[in-house]
Structure 1
Amino acid sequence: MKVPVKVGGRDLTLSNLDKVLYPDFGFTKAEIIDYYSRVAPVLLPHLAGRPLTVKRYPNGVNGPFFFEKNAPDHTPGWVRLATLPAPGSTKNRETIDFAIVEDLPTLVYYANLAALELHVPQWRVDDDGEPLPPDTLVFDLDPGPPATIVECCRVALMLREVLAGEGLTARPKTSGNKGMQLYADWDCREEPSTYAKRLAQLLEKEHRDQVVSVMAKKARPGKVFIDWSQNNPAKTTVAPYSLRARERPTVSAPLLWKEVEGCERPDELVFTAPDVLARVEKHGDLFGRA
């Protein structure tokens, strides 16, 4: 069943609204569109200017999915696109037409495509669609079992202190999966991956029983891998407030530092879409604060 709607003055056709995309939670496409519509005021500023990569799950989180960078052929003409080089494209494209999600109609358009996960780089494009220097530094903290997000929180506190010593203010969020990320505004003092790698190696040297800075899986059990490579311009990280394709509709949720400091059990930092809407109503955009 198709439902014509008007969103922000744009005409859209929504489809399969009663389709359950999170079977274990009974969460439907209509509820996904509702979540993204309601969280849009705090989400859109973190997507603005950033080329979008999505993970689409047309048959739900238990079905096959695909990454999509190139805007679909049926993308409405009013969706902002940026045509950017595509070095190493797996589809042999020279360029990719990336969507730039800056308004509610575009966000709803993608939610209707079952684009559950929204991923963006640490840089933006200018008004002409040309890439700007990176404006964000990110550290992806990935726990190697049996370590959990509890151990990630301890490493996050160490990293917060190191960054503060460098004059950078860290902001924490969950990944919506097993780990978490720390972000900081970036001033291009040097190449960001090189800088992030150096800090990761510093913490590994000081806390070898807790931290690892190398990719090798065999080095990770019981430790937290600080993935500094997310700062590569070709890479993306899940956006703040994005859903994740887990058993439940978990969200990459911005955190209060006191939540990080006090975390004792992994389930304390698991937030679903309804949880995050309640948090936004209470706190506003935690990721918008320095």
Structure 2
Amino acid sequence: MTPITEVEGRRLALSNLQKVLYPATGFTKGEVLHYYATVADALLPHLRDRALSFLRYPDGPDGQVFFAKNVPPGTPEWVTTARVPRSDGPARMVVVQDLASLVWAANLVTEFHTPQWVVQEPEIADRLVLDLDPGAPATVVECCEVAVWLRERLAADGIEAYPKTSGSKGLHLLAAVRGASSERVTEYAKRLAVEAEEAMPGLVVHRMTRSLRPGKVFVDWSQNAARKTTAAPYTLRARAEPAVSAPVTWDEVARCRSADPLAFLAADIAPRLQDHGDLLAPVLDADRAGSVP
């Protein structure tokens, strides 16, 4: 029998709670749901008002993995949805606004991916993101070196950047911005990536060509495009272990000397939130947003 639970007055059917989704650690679907409920206070503000794309892996990362952008069949009527523009025409997408909706979405077994805009203004970016992706043998250590340079470069333009792990191999930099289209932010992010390559030609590449990436950090500027999304803070990732895209401090970035210290699993996040709070909370503060030159 499928268990029924009540979350904030909403009745939810939660399925297959004992199913092991991360075989390397035995992490179950029930533990996935518990994780998302535990970090909800930090996660929800980063999802709110954003049209979500879900990377679903209902049988774990070794099973079928697929993106879902349209509202899934069977979505409860109380889950908020929004009609948003897409390159292939307008579409209706899920907007997770509360704990009940978060638990419902987590029950589908998802990574949460967000655009750099809110549904009220889909043509205006309120986030800048730079995805630092290392090409082997480069690791997150090299990403941290590049991140420090980018932090200083952004600060020169009055933009304050905050780091998080990608939950995979690399690092993300996020910044709050205002008053610019997604196209303009994308152009600015590309300029930054080109400048980083010019400053560190042996370490950075700004082009997507995979043959250029070995041993370097690809500064992916393209995720600022209106149609693109990025793994949300605190989302679990479809990896062998329940890895998390976790906010980190700039001190941790500066001290990074091996890949391990900047890799976090689900069990690490509650203690980090207790110690640090939400390290990305400043990105939510519109008064701290910078202007894209």
TM-score normalized by the length of structure 1? 0.94
Letter in 2 for 1:74: G
Aligned residue for 1:6, secondary structure, equals: strand
Confirm or deny that 1:12 pairs with 2:12: yes
Aligned residue for 1:187, secondary structure, equals: strand
Letter in 1 for 2:266: A
Aligned residue for 1:24, secondary structure, equals: coil
Matches within 5 A, 1:1-290: 1-88=1-88, 94-115=89-110, 117-126=111-120, 131=122, 133-189=124-180, 191-289=184-282
Letter in 2 for 1:121: P
Letter in 1 for 2:54: V
- Residue matched to 1:91: none
- CA distance in 1 between counterparts of 2:178 and 2:93 reads 25
Letter in 1 for 2:210: K
- Among the aligned pairs, what percent are the same residue? 52
Indicate if the aligned counterparts of 2:164 and 2:172 stay in contact, CA closer than 8 A: yes
Aligned residue for 2:218, secondary structure, equals: strand
- CA distance in 2 between counterparts of 1:28 and 1:189 reads 42
Deviations 1:202-236 (A, max 9, x none): 11111101111111111111111100001000000
Letter in 2 for 1:192: V
Deviations 1:135-186 (A, max 9, x none): 0000000001100000000000000000010100010000000001101111
Alpha-carbon distance, 1:198 to partner? 0.6
Letter in 1 for 2:13: T
Indicate if the aligned counterparts of 2:85 and 2:122 stay in contact, CA closer than 8 A: no
Letter in 1 for 2:79: V
Aligned residue for 2:39, secondary structure, equals: helix
Alpha-carbon distance, 1:132 to partner? 5.1
Letter in 2 for 1:120: T
- CA distance in 2 between counterparts of 1:283 and 1:58 reads 32
Aligned residue for 1:173, secondary structure, equals: strand
Q: Give the aligned CA root-mean-square deviation in angstroms.
A: 1.2
Q: Is there any run of 5+ residues in structure 2 with no aligned partner, and where?
A: 284-293
- CA distance in 2 between counterparts of 1:95 and 1:133 reads 17
Alpha-carbon distance, 1:131 to partner? 2.3
Alpha-carbon distance, 1:188 to partner? 3.3
Alpha-carbon distance, 1:86 to partner? 2.9
- CA distance in 1 between counterparts of 2:84 and 2:115 reads 13
Aligned residue for 1:186, secondary structure, equals: strand
Indicate if the aligned counterparts of 2:237 and 2:245 stay in contact, CA closer than 8 A: yes
Q: Is there any run of 5+ residues in structure 1 with no aligned partner, and where?
A: 89-93
Residues 77-86 or 229-238, more deviating: 77-86
- CA distance in 2 between counterparts of 1:87 and 1:256 reads 36
- CA distance in 2 between counterparts of 1:211 and 1:73 reads 43
- CA distance in 1 between counterparts of 2:253 and 2:149 reads 11
Residues 63-72 or 183-192, more deviating: 183-192
- CA distance in 2 between counterparts of 1:133 and 1:212 reads 27
Aligned residue for 2:159, secondary structure, equals: coil
Alpha-carbon distance, 1:83 to partner? 1.3
